[in-house]
């Protein structure tokens, strides 16, 4: 299954990536994949240790003549984002990822691929087993549960690492040298209520919005893609206002760092409003296809209503109205741009999840910013919106951004090396995605850090793919970087 990638170059990297794809490793399920990398390090006769947070560190001694070269930490995270379309049968806790070669790209069959950050992990494994590479001491750090809360990085203790240079392999555009990233914080809003009986004579419809592109809520938030939760609630507000629609349940989005692609709501309404209600559904489908024709694949965008069994209970009207108003009023998408780095988002929010079940409604939002003050401000703004709507709001799992170091000797060397190897300038960037670098810097002060990687597009969505010809370029550059550190 997916073994055609074993024919790609560099062969050892793709071999390790294939092996990783056979191990279920969604965030929160790290035991098997951690054992896999620990056993790999031990099979090479290298020093292997693990901390209380589950992070694995494999140390490779310097080659002869390179003993005085500064120790380099290579770092990638082991977990992947588990995303699939609702009509796809795949259990991320049990099933392997089925990789396929699609023209110039490697992708998965209707699921996320896990190239984020599996390609980085595979590259580190290839470096560890390469006996021809000339290098100083290497510490290969495999962190856990990055995608939700950066758990592994946050659990690092002082003294676990001894290196002075950190090469993070989690950037997703070949030719980019990343020197800074945004921090983030979770804003969660919850309601509890007693469900009420559905009025007699009402009919019920299941409204389904699907076919949106979704994507990474950091690296792709600026592309103007639709948020399924926002679109569903714009519709619900008009339907409730004009057609006596009542909300029975809502299920939209999935993970906090993935732009929501799908949302499903079950509603009831008086039978005499059925015809007008269905016209409204068609109106909104047409509206969304027109509004997002530049950012979405509109032939895949679908907004439909199908008759369904009448639910026995509904969300109380006052909770329903508060929820709708809060979601419609919630800031979502790009909030501000950086002034010093053209085209880079400074602050954003992602209304990631809205779900109801058994007398409870839960909303999850990820706020990001390169500025700690603005991160706090946007979190406070979101807290106010939902608190005014009667929700219990918690702000948690904050992590710091990574501030650029203009005097980085490693960056200077790598920029010169890139131009020497590829006859073009590398792009020095600050990204809006959350990387573990700032957190690791907190536990190991003074690190000189650069992040880079191959081209990976549509991460955190079933459309994720890695561009094949960027992988050998990335790996060769990694190897040359290690050889050129003085």
Give residue-wise pLDDT tens across range 51-86: 999 999 999 999 999 999 999 999 999 999 999 987
Say how far apart CA 136 and CA 141 lie, in whole Å: 16
Task: Determine the structural domain holding residue 350 and report its residue range.
Answer: 184-399
What does the longest C-alpha to C-alpha distance in the chain come to? 85
Contacts of 465 (CB under 8 A, 6+ apart): 102, 105, 106, 107, 113, 115, 456, 457, 458
Among 399, 417, 448, identify where a domain stops: 399
At residue 196, does pLDDT exceed 70? yes
Same domain for 312 and 248: yes
Q: Burial letters for 55-80: b for 16+ Cβ neighbours within 10 Å, e otherwise? A: bbbbbbebbeebeebebbbbbbbbbb
Strand order in the sheet with 105-108: 99-102, 105-108, 465-467, 456-457
pLDDT band at 407 (very low <50, low <70, confident <90, very high): confident
Is the confidence at residue 346, as pLDDT, over 70? yes
* pLDDT band for position 42 (cuts 50, 70, 90): very high
- pLDDT (0 to 100) of residue 148: 86
Half-sphere exposure of 95 (CA within 13 A, CB side): 18
Q: Which of 399, 432, 464 marks a domain boundary?
A: 399
Q: In the predicted model, is pLDDT for residue 168 greater than 80? A: yes
Same domain, 378 and 474: no
Q: What is the mean pLDDT of the chain?
A: 96
pLDDT, mean of residues 445-460? 96
Residue 46 has pLDDT above 90, yes or no: yes
Same domain flag for 241 and 347? yes
Among 233, 208, 179, 171, smallest CA distance to 453 is for 171
Residue 31 has pLDDT above 90, yes or no: yes
pTM as predicted: 0.81
Sorted by sequence, the CB contacts under 8 Å of residue 486 that are 6+ apart come out as 69, 413
Contacts of 74 (CB under 8 A, 6+ apart): 123, 124, 127, 138, 139, 140, 141, 167, 169
Say what the pLDDT of residue 451 is. Answer: 98
Q: What pLDDT does 255 receive? A: 87
Are residues 236 and 309 both part of a single domain? yes
For residues 171 and 125, membership in a common domain is answered with: yes
Looking at residue 50, its pLDDT comes to 98
So what's the pLDDT on residue 343?
87
153: Cβ contacts below 8 Å, ≥ 6 apart: 55, 77, 143, 146, 399, 436, 439, 440
- Same domain? 104 vs 236: no
Q: Is pLDDT above 70 for 463?
A: yes
The arithmetic mean of pLDDT across residues 31-50, rounded, is 98
Residue 220's pLDDT is 93
Q: What is the pLDDT of residue 465?
A: 97
- HEC string of the chain equals CCHHHHHCCCHHHHHHHHHHHCCCCECCCCHHHHHHHHHHHHHCCCEEEECCCCCEEEEECCCCCCCCCCCEEEEEECCECCCECCCCCCCCCCCCCCEEEECCEEEECCECCCHHHHHHHHHHHHHHHCCCCCCCCEEEEEECCCCCCCHHHHCCCCCCCCCCEEEECCCCCCCEEEEEECEEEEEEEEEECCCEECCCCEEEEEEEEECCCCCECCCCHHHCCCCHHHHHHHHHHHHHHHHCCEEEEEEEECCCCECCCCEEEEEEEEHHHHHHHHHHHHHHHHHHHHHCCCCCCCCCCEEEEEEECCCCEECCHHHHHHHHHHHHHCCCEEEEECCCCCCCEEEEEEEEEEEEECCEEEEEEEEEECCHHHHHHHHHHHHHHHHHCCCEEEEEEEECCECCCCCCHHHHHHHHHHHHHHCCCCEEEEECCCCCHHHHHHHCCCCEEEECCCCEECCCCCCCEEECCHHHHHHHHHHHHHHHCC
Q: pLDDT at position 1, please?
A: 58
Q: What is the pLDDT of residues 239-285, one digit of tens each?
A: 999 999 999 999 999 989 999 999 999 999 999 999 999 999 999 99
Residue 370: CATH number of its domain: 3.30.70.360
Whether 359 and 426 share a structural domain: no
* Per-residue model confidence (pLDDT) at position 305: 98
Q: Could you tell me the CA-to-CA distances from 207 to 49, 251, 367 in Å, in that order? A: 51, 11, 28
- Measure the CA angle with vertex 191, ends 189 and 194; round to 5°: 170
> Could you tell me which residue, 486 or 466, shows the higher pLDDT?
466
Query: Rounded to whole angstroms, how far apart are CA atoms 40 and 415?
Result: 32
Backbone angles phi, psi at 30, to 5 degrees: -105, -10
**Mean pLDDT of the 463-479 span:** 98
Catalytic annotation, residues: 79, 146
User: Strand 138-143 to strand 72-77: parallel, antiparallel, or no bridges (unpaired)?
Assistant: parallel
Among 370, 399, 428, where does a domain finish?
A: 399
% pLDDT > 90, the chain: 92
**Are 19 and 164 contained in the same domain?**
yes
Omega cis (within 30) before 117: yes
Q: What is the mean pLDDT of residues 142-152?
A: 94
**Residues 33 and 139 both lie in one domain:** yes
Percent of the chain with pLDDT over 70: 100
Instruction: Note the pLDDT tens digit of each residue in 422-444.
Output: 999 999 999 998 899 999 999 99
**Domain check: are 154 and 284 in the same one?**
no
pLDDT of 406 above 90: no
- Residue 40 CA: distances (Å) to CA of 58, 121, 133: 9, 12, 18
- Write down the pLDDT at residue 80: 97
Same domain, 449 and 369: no
Higher-pLDDT residue of 403 and 128 is: 128
CATH number of the domain within which 154 lies: 3.40.630.10
Predicted local distance difference test score (pLDDT) of residue 433 = 87
Q: Are 251 and 363 in contact (CB under 8 A)?
A: no
- Indicate whether 365 and 418 sit together in one domain: no
Which whole number is the average pLDDT over 1-27?
Answer: 95
Domain count, the chain: 2
């Amino acid at each position: 299954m997916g073994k055609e990638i074993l024919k790609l170059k560099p062969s050892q990297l793709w071999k390790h990536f294939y092996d990783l794809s056979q191990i279920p490793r969604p965030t929160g399920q790290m035991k098997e994949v951690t054992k896999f990398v620990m056993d790999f390090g031990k099979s090479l006769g290298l020093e292997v240790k693990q901390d209380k947070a589950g992070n694995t560190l494999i140390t490779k001694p310097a080659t002869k003549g390179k003993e005085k070269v500064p120790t380099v930490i290579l770092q990638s995270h082991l977990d992947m984002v588990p995303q699939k379309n609702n009509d796809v049968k795949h259990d991320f806790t049990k099933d392997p990822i089925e990789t396929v070669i699609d023209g110039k790209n490697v992708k998965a069959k209707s699921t996320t691929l896990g190239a984020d950050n599996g390609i980085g992990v595979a590259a580190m494994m290839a470096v560890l087993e390469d006996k021809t590479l000339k290098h100083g001491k290497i510490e290969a750090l495999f962190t856990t549960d990055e995608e939700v809360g950066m758990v592994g990085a946050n659990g690092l203790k002082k003294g676990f690492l001894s290196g002075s240079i950190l090469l993070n392999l989690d950037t997703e555009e070949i030719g980019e040298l990343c020197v800074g990233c945004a921090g983030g914080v979770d804003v969660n809003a919850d309601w509890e209520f007693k469900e009420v009986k559905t009025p007699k004579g009402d009919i019920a419809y299941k409204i389904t919005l699907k076919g949106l592109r979704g994507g990474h809520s950091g690296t792709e938030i600026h592309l103007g893609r639709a948020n399924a939760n926002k679109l569903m609630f714009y519709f619900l507000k008009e339907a409730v206002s004009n057609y006596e629609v009542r909300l029975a349940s809502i299920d939209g989005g999935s993970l906090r760092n993935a732009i929501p692609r799908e949302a499903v709501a079950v509603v009831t309404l008086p039978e005499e409003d059925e015809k007008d209600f269905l016209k409204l559904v068609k109106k909104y489908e047409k509206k969304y296809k027109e509004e997002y024709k530049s950012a979405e694949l509109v032939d895949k965008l679908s907004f439909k209503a199908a008759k369904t069994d009448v639910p026995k209970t509904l969300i109380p009207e006052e909770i329903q109205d508060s929820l709708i108003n809060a979601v419609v009023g919630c800031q979502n998408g790009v909030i501000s741009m950086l002034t010093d780095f053209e085209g880079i988002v400074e602050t954003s929010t992602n209304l990631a999840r809205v779900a109801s079940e058994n007398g409870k409604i839960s909303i999850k939002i990820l706020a990001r910013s390169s500025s700690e003050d603005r991160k706090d401000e946007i979190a406070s703004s979101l807290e106010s919106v939902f608190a005014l709507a009667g929700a219990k709001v918690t702000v948690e799992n904050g992590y710091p951004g990574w501030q650029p170091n203009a005097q980085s000797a490693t960056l200077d060397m790598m920029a010169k090396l890139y131009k020497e190897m590829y006859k073009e300038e590398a792009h020095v960037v600050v990204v809006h995605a959350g990387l573990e670098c700032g957190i690791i810097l907190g536990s190991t002060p003074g690190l000189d850090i650069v992040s880079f990687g191959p081209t990976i597009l549509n991460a955190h969505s079933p459309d994720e793919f890695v561009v094949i010809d960027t992988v050998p370029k990335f790996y060769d550059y990694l190897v040359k970087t290690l050889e050129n550190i003085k």
